[in-house]
Amino acid sequence: MTGPIFERQRSDTMPFTFEVLSIKTRTMNYSARAWISAVALLTITSLTAQDTTKEGYSVSGNNDITVVPDSLTNTTHRLPAYRITVFESNGGDALNLWKDEMKSKSKSVSGSNPTTADVVVLPAVSTLPIKVFANATTDKKAEIGQLIIAYALNDSVGIADMALAETNARAMAVALNKANVQKQIDQYTKTLDKAEGKLEGAQKDLAKNDKALEKAKKAGEKAKKAVLSLNADISKLKSEVTGLESKFGITKDPKDLKPLTKARGKLSKKEGQLAKAMKSENKAYEDVSKYSGKSPDRAKEEAERAETMNAKAAIVESLKKKMETIK
C-alpha cells in the first residue's frame, strides 16, 4: 500500500498562514478600539460646538425672557394682559403647557379664545381666588408660540395690582420655557436609551466575533500539531511496512504476513486520522479567514453606534445646560 496522498504539503504552509492571520487580526482589533475612542472624543467635541439639532432645537440658551404689556378680549370685555413667549414652540403647544401649569392651581381649565382657568389660587398675585385667561398665537418664521395672559377678579375686571400680575407672568414664561426644553430632553433621552441598547448589541457582536476568531485559531493550532504528529507516525509506519513487505517477499512465510497486515492496518488508520486532522485544519483556516474578515465590519458598526450614542448624549447635556440659562 502506498503512503497517503496528503503528505505534508498542507501542514508545511498552514503554520505560517495561521501566524500571519493572527498578527493581522490582533493589529486590526487594537486599531479598531483606538478608532472607537478617537471617534467618540471627536463626536462629543463637535456636537457640543454645534448650534442646533436636526429637529431645529437650539443647544445653547440665548433667548431672553420678556414680558410685554398687552390686552385680552373676553367676550366684550377688554382686560389688561401680558404677552410672553415660548421659544421653539407654537401657539398650540405653548397653550397646552400653560394648561398643564394651571391645572394644579385652579378648579378647572376650559374654553378657547380665551381659555379660562377658573378659581385660581395664586397667593403671590391675590389673596382671593381669581380667573386667568389666555390666548395663543404662533410666529412660524420665528418658531415661537406666544401667550397673552390676563389676571382678573371676574370676567370683566382685572386685578388691582398689575405689578404682581407682571411678576407672575414672567415666572410663568420661565416655567413654560423650561417645560418646553424638558420635552426636548425627554425626547433625546429616549433616543439615547435606544442608542445605548444598539451600542451594547454591537459590542456583543464584536465580542462574539472575537471569541469565535480565537476559538478558530486555537482549533487550527491544535489541528496543525495533530497533522505534524500524524505525518511523523505515518513516515515510521511506511518504513515499517516497507521492511515487512521485503521480508515477506523473501520468506513467503504466512507468519510474516500477520505483522505486515497489522502494520498496514495501523498505517491505514493513521492515514484516516490524518485526513480528518487536515480537514479540521482547513476548516479552522476558513473560519479564521471568515471571522478576520468580519472583524472590521463589526468594529466599524461598534464605532458608528458609539458615535451615535455620544452625539445624543452630548445633545442631552447641552439641553440640560440650556435649561439652566432660562431665568
pLDDT digits (tens, 9 = 90+) for 10-27: 333 333 344 333 333 333
242 pLDDT exceeds 90?
A: yes
Residue 215 and residue 178 share a domain: no
- Residue 139 C-alpha cell reads as 410666529
Assess whether 29 and 128 both reside in one domain: no
- Amino acid 32: pLDDT: 44
pLDDT at position 277 over 80 = yes
221 vs 2, more confident = 221
Q: Which residues, in sequence order, are CB contacts of 54 under 8 Å at separation 6+? A: none
pLDDT of amino acid 281 = 95
Q: Contact at 8 Å (CB) between 300 and 29?
A: no
Same domain for 153 and 262?
no
Same domain, 195 and 316: yes
pLDDT score for 53? 85
pLDDT of residue 9: 35
The pLDDT tens digits for 118-134 are 999 999 999 999 999 99
Same domain for 244 and 269? yes
Give the count of beta carbons closer than 10 Å to the beta carbon of residue 178: 16
* Any domain includes 162: yes
Q: Is residue 57 part of a domain?
A: no
Q: What is the DSSP string of 150-208?
A: EEESSSS-B-S-HHHHHHHHHHHHHHHHHHHHHHHHHHHHHHHHHHHHHHHHHHHHHHH
Classified as helix, coil or strand, 266 is: helix
Cell of 3: 503512503
- Is there a domain that residue 120 lies in? yes
Domain boundary pick from 132, 161, 182: 182
Q: What is the mean pLDDT of residues 30-45?
A: 46
What is the total residue count of the chain?
Answer: 327
- In terms of domains, do 273 and 154 share one? no
Classify residue 54 by burial, with Cβ atoms within 10 Å: 0-12, 13-18, 19+. Answer: exposed
**For position 55, what pLDDT does the model report?**
82
**143/231 same-domain check:** no
Structural domain contains residue 1 = no
pTM over 0.75: no
CATH of the domain at 87: 3.30.310
Residue 35 pLDDT greater than 60, yes or no = no
Output the pLDDT for position 14: 38
Tens digits of residue pLDDT in 162-220: 999 999 999 999 999 999 999 999 999 998 898 889 889 989 999 999 999 999 999 99
Choose the final residue of a domain: 138, 157, 182: 182
Per the CB < 8 A criterion, the answer to whether 183 and 261 are in contact is: no
Cβ atoms 154, 77 nearer than 8 A: no
Q: Which of 15-29, 152-166, 236-250, 259-273 has the lowest mean pLDDT?
A: 15-29
Q: Is residue 299 part of a domain?
A: yes
**Which residues of the chain form beta strands (DSSP E)?**
68-74, 77-87, 108-110, 115-120, 130-139, 144-152
Percent of the chain with pLDDT over 70: 85
Q: How many CB atoms lie within 10 A of CB 50?
A: 14
* Together in a domain, 131 and 164: yes
Q: Are 93 and 86 in contact (CB under 8 A)?
A: yes
Q: What is the mean pLDDT of residues 237-263?
A: 93
Instruction: Show which of 182, 203, 235 is a domain's final residue.
Output: 182
Report if residue 165 sits inside a domain: yes
178 and 194 part of one domain: no
Question: What are the tens digits of pLDDT across the range 132-154?
Answer: 999 999 999 999 999 999 999 99
89 and 162 co-located in one domain? yes
Question: What is the pLDDT at residue 129?
Answer: 96
Does residue 89 share a domain with residue 121? yes
Instruction: Please provide the average confidence, as pLDDT, over all residues in the chain.
Output: 86
Instruction: Please determine, for residue 50, whether its predicted confidence score (pLDDT) is greater than 90.
Output: no
Structural domain for 238, as ranges: 9-51+190-324
Tens digit of pLDDT for each residue in 287-325?
Answer: 999 999 988 988 899 999 999 889 889 999 999 999 999
Instruction: Look at 313 and 4; give whichever has higher pLDDT.
Output: 313
Residues 109 and 144 both lie in one domain: yes
Q: What is the mean pLDDT of residues 52-58?
A: 84
Does residue 227 fall inside a structural domain? yes
What is the pLDDT, as a whole number, of residue 30? 41
Residue 212's CATH number: 1.10.287
Beta strands 130-139 and 115-120, pairing class: antiparallel
For residue 283, being part of any structural domain is answered with: yes
Q: How many domains does the chain have?
A: 2
Residue with cell 454645534: 50
Asked if 293 contacts 22 with a C-beta cutoff of 8 angstroms, the reply is no
